[in-house]
Amino acid sequence: MSTANELKAKGNDAFAAGNHEEAVKLFTQAIELDPTNHVLYSNRSASLSSLKKYEDALKDAKETTKLMPNWPKGYSREGSALFGLGRFSDARDAYEAGLKHDPENALLKKGLADTEAALNAGSGDGGLDDFSKNMSNAFQDENLWAKLAGNSQTASFLADQSFVAKIKDIQANQDNMRKYADDQRIMIAMLTLMGMGDMISQTAPSGSTAEFAVPKSSSPPPPPPASAPKKEEKSKASDTAKSVELTKEQKEAEEAKAQGNAAYKARKFDEALESYSKAIELNPEDITYYNNKSAVYYEMGKLDECIETAEKAIEVGREYRAEYKHIAKALGRIGTAYAKKEDLDNAIQYYNRSLTEHRTADVLNKLRTLEKLRKLRAEEAYRDEGKSNEARERGNELFKAGKYAEAQAEYSEAIKRNPDDVRSYSNRAACLTKLVAIPDAIKDCDTCISIDPTFVKAYIRKANALFLMREYAEALDALEEVKTRDTEKKNTAEADQLEYKCYNAINEQNARLSPEEALKRAQENPRIASILANPVMQNILQQMQSDPRAAREHLKNPAVASNLRKLIAAGIVRMG
């Protein structure tokens, strides 16, 4: 079964391939597994926008900002969906809301600028019709053909004479633009002629590398979406790299960091600490220096200092609005430090906090490993053979009194206290059979047999459960195991009685079917049909027809005997 993270990656690949329907499907499956992951709603919003399902895209965008109110990309998704709906004023509000959380976010700035351009062009909030009406005069540009030829995107369109004819038709009468609303290339050409060609991009999901592609077939044109990077933004080496010009102190801090990195790689940890401390002194606003220093402490085995420094990194990151992935890294390192200290509860807590900031496969795998370890340790701590025996005895008394549900609870407690005791599984199977929970009873019998294949009682209880399910051939197989393993013959009488009941039920069942009807029904059963198609079984059946005594020899082979019992139960082979 795929994890949410695996489905997300597949969704990103589908988006990149232009298969947006599949992307929506995959992101939806991921959301079902991880309904609080804001990135999944964000990615599905992008996919829905690509399908021009802007209302649904808007719902996902709003869910994104609800789950993560301080995540700028959520507001970018919302702005893009609103732009697609022609609600330009609302789109502007969304972009502005996002910029309150990250005033320097280039994606939000670009979206706001594009929206302002649409509003200034006189589109108002009237939607696509008004937008197209007010912008169609772009095709009256005297340099139209030169501009289209000079753009790599629109230049490829000019090879299609039908596209050229449409442009000429719009030149003749700008109202004719409405006639070609099914050709997205017209919208792209219009934006190019208006000098807004950089708006031609598709908002890609987190982690994808999707680029805008003009569909070969015609489709209803969307309003130009808010601009977004063609690739997921690649994080810079540090938050200070956002600035084009670094101060003298910042440059020196970066040099100190580089020296620290070199020392760290050489495992000269004291030198690395000194360099990172110098970088922090020069530029105390950069979270990456604290994160690196925390990593050094971890490698040195100074876990308390590692945790303390990582907590300082988080404090600095919050104050100076560091990227979420840097804060997530600090939280993850605290989790790893606690894990090394064998403090699983705190480790799991910090891994979860890290994932709410920024999800990575590494932290997710560490979290799952620790959760399994914590569960295993809890189970081990709960083990108590004496208390298990006491619970089983209470279950026995309740079973004798006909209180099967209460007895089942006591047997379950006995199993938790000592999961290696086959008696508890066997006894619970008996309860489950009484409660008509037959599949669960068979599962307990199989568990019992897997722990101790010589525990004969489990085979008898499995045969009883299979008999109630009218799986007579399988019940007979279980009874054959009893005959093989019950060397002291303590259960022979019970097994013989149940075997008689099975064959009697088979005869009654087959009496209602003619040989032809039995054969037809068998051919519809893949398991029986497979036995009949086996050349070895065909040969054995032919021998039995000519010499019934041959059956005795063949029944000595357990596999053949099992197949014959199945054919008998199906009415193909009939006993005289």
Mean pLDDT check: name the lowest of 91-105, 171-185, 206-220.
206-220
**At 235, is the pLDDT very low, low, confident or very high (cuts 50, 70, 90)?**
very low
Neighbours of 106 (CB within 10 A): 12
* pLDDT of res. 246: 78
* pLDDT of res. 567: 78
In angstroms, the CA 558 to CA 537 distance is 13
Tell me which residue of 8, 76, 69, 16 sits closest to 43, measured CA to CA.
8
* pLDDT of res. 142: 65
**What CATH number does the domain located at 248-376 have?**
1.25.40.10
Mean pLDDT check: name the lowest of 36-40, 114-118, 197-201, 557-561.
197-201
Percent of the chain beyond pLDDT 70? 82
C-alpha 242 chain-centroid distance: 33
Number of H helices, E strands in the chain: 31, 0
In angstroms, the CA 238 to CA 178 distance is 49
* pLDDT of res. 233: 37
Output DSSP code: residue 180: G
CA angle 176, 117, 64 (to 5 degrees): 105
* pLDDT of res. 128: 43
pLDDT surpassing 60 at residue 199:
no
pTM for the complete prediction? 0.44
**Mean pLDDT in residue range 145-151:** 74
The answer to whether 4-199 and 248-376 have equal CATH topology is yes
**What CATH number does the domain located at 513-576 have?**
1.10.260.100
**At 196, is the pLDDT very low, low, confident or very high (cuts 50, 70, 90)?**
low
* pLDDT of res. 239: 43
Mean pLDDT check: name the lowest of 164-168, 258-262, 400-404, 566-570.
566-570
pLDDT surpassing 90 at residue 542:
no
Tens digits of per-residue pLDDT, 468-515? 988 888 888 888 888 888 888 888 888 888 888 888 887 887 777 777
Answer whether 107's CB lies under 8 Å from 156's CB: no
Tens digits of per-residue pLDDT, 423-445? 999 999 999 999 999 999 999 99
**At 121, is the pLDDT very low, low, confident or very high (cuts 50, 70, 90)?**
low
Tens digits of per-residue pLDDT, 237-284? 344 344 446 788 889 999 999 999 999 999 999 999 999 999 999 999
* pLDDT of res. 468: 92
Mean pLDDT check: name the lowest of 90-94, 134-138, 352-356, 363-367.
134-138
User: What is the overall mean pLDDT for the chain?
Assistant: 81
**More confident: 125 or 293:** 293
Percent of the chain beyond pLDDT 90? 40
Tens digits of per-residue pLDDT, 330-360? 999 999 999 999 999 999 999 999 998 888 8
**More confident: 235 or 77:** 77
* pLDDT of res. 219: 34
CA angle 174, 176, 180 (to 5 degrees): 125
Tell me which residue of 100, 95, 63, 64 sits closest to 80, measured CA to CA.
95
pLDDT surpassing 70 at residue 81:
yes
The fold adopted by the segment(s) 4-199 is: 1.25.40
* pLDDT of res. 42: 92
> Domains of the chain: which residue ranges?
4-199, 248-376, 420-512, 513-576
In the structure encoding, which two tokens stand for residue 18, read together?
């232009």
**CA atoms in the 13 A half-sphere facing the CB of 262:** 7
Tens digits of per-residue pLDDT, 292-322? 999 999 999 999 999 999 999 999 998 888 8
Tens digits of per-residue pLDDT, 368-391? 999 999 998 988 899 999 999 999
**More confident: 561 or 318:** 318
**Mean pLDDT in residue range 140-150:** 72
* pLDDT of res. 264: 94
**At 228, is the pLDDT very low, low, confident or very high (cuts 50, 70, 90)?**
very low
**At 1, is the pLDDT very low, low, confident or very high (cuts 50, 70, 90)?**
low
Neighbours of 379 (CB within 10 A): 12
pLDDT surpassing 60 at residue 198:
no
CATH 1.25.40.10 applies to domain 420-512: yes
Answer whether 315's CB lies under 8 Å from 269's CB: no
Answer whether 478's CB lies under 8 Å from 488's CB: no
pLDDT surpassing 70 at residue 574:
no
* pLDDT of res. 216: 32
**More confident: 196 or 450:** 450
